Amino acid sequence: MSALERAASTPPPDPRTLAAGGAGRVESVPSLERAAPTPAPQSHGRTASVFTPAPEALGRGLPLDIAVLRYPRIANFTDADPLASEPDVRLRYVTNAREWGEPDAVLLPGSKNTAEDLAFLRASGLEAKLLSYGERGGRIVGICGGYQMLGRRLLDPDGVESAVRETTGLGLLPTETTFAADKRTERVAGSAVGGFLGSGAEWPLAGYEIHMGRTTVGADRAAQPFRLRLEREPEGAAESHSDGAMSADGRVWGTYVHDIFRNDGLRRAWLDDIRGDKGLPPSDAVQSFAERRERAFDRLADHARRHLDMARIYRIIHKEAVSDDERDSD
């Protein structure tokens, strides 16, 4: 069995089980055994992550249905959290063709191994679903590894990411990606240029890049919808660069910018375009995801304070001794 065949047959992990066993490992540390564990916070009656409800609870009955492709080596899937926070969005994770449904938009998130996750999409039937959906004018977004998959070819001549030297992409964008040993890790800021999302507006954005591939776009430079600079550089700095690619009708686009949907105006404009597809008016509310995230952290901190011996934890942090008598007193 080849590496790609093994990859394609590997089921993706369930994000809800990734931390399983963590409480037991914490309890095995003598200094922490009486300070933990604490019961998980609840959302809609189910165990929740900090920002997002459990997948079964993500907005049944809401007008916008957004599917996130969950492949085995999914990375940075928190890029979808701001979408889940919107009051008109049902966000769901799709693992196979049977779960496809009738999405209003599809998100391809990052990947720790793009070629092998692309093989999984093909073996699972999701590639066929995605290509058919794209032919019918579906809205598709790829971020980082997902953006690379949307292109025509992925080249790995030095075996940086996998043993597969060349992989045919999904062909939904006019791009080609070559993997290199050096990893780009930068915080970036900039804007979505005029024409993105069917308007002349330039939506401000900020986020970060972390990738090993270098992606080139066809001769039509207008197909690149984002103009970025390093966040540490002043606005208007000469050292700016184009990012991403977009189909001629704007319904398929990709970018290397993680956290792109944390930009409230851009996120809401994209969702309102989807609402327009369904004959719905634009939403009259733009939520601040940053404020929602801070409230979520505050709730998590309050929950921890109610259930943990914080005085003991602070003493451990500051390397103060915890006596045997105190340890046994619990």
At a CB cut-off of 8 Å and minimum separation 6, what does 189 contact?
204, 205, 206, 228, 229, 230, 231, 235
* Alpha helices, DSSP H, located in the chain: 3-9, 22-27, 81-84, 114-124, 126-135, 145-149, 264-277, 289-307, 310-317, 324-328
CB 159, CB 183: distance < 8 Å: no
With H, G, I as helix, E, B as strand and everything else as coil, classify residue 290.
helix
Q: Find, among 145, 139, 142, the residue nearest to 161 by Cα.
A: 145
Tokens of 79: 């890029």
Please write down the HEC assignment for all residues of 187-211.
EEEEEECCCHHHCCCCEEEEEEEEE
Distance, in Å, from the CA atom of 256 to the CA atom of 213, rounded to the nearest integer, reads: 10
Q: Under 8 Å CB-to-CB from 83, ≥6 apart: which residues?
A: 66, 89, 91, 107, 261, 267, 271
- 324 vs 321: CA distance, rounded Å: 9
- Phi/psi zone of residue 39: left (φ > 0), alpha (ψ -120 to 50 degrees), beta? beta
Task: Tokens for 274, please give them.
Answer: 């989807």
- Which of the residues are catalytic? 144, 258
Kind plus residue range of the DSSP H or E element containing 243: strand 240-243
* Contact by Cβ (8 Å): 90, 99: no
Distance, CA of 255 to CA of 194 (rounded, Å): 16
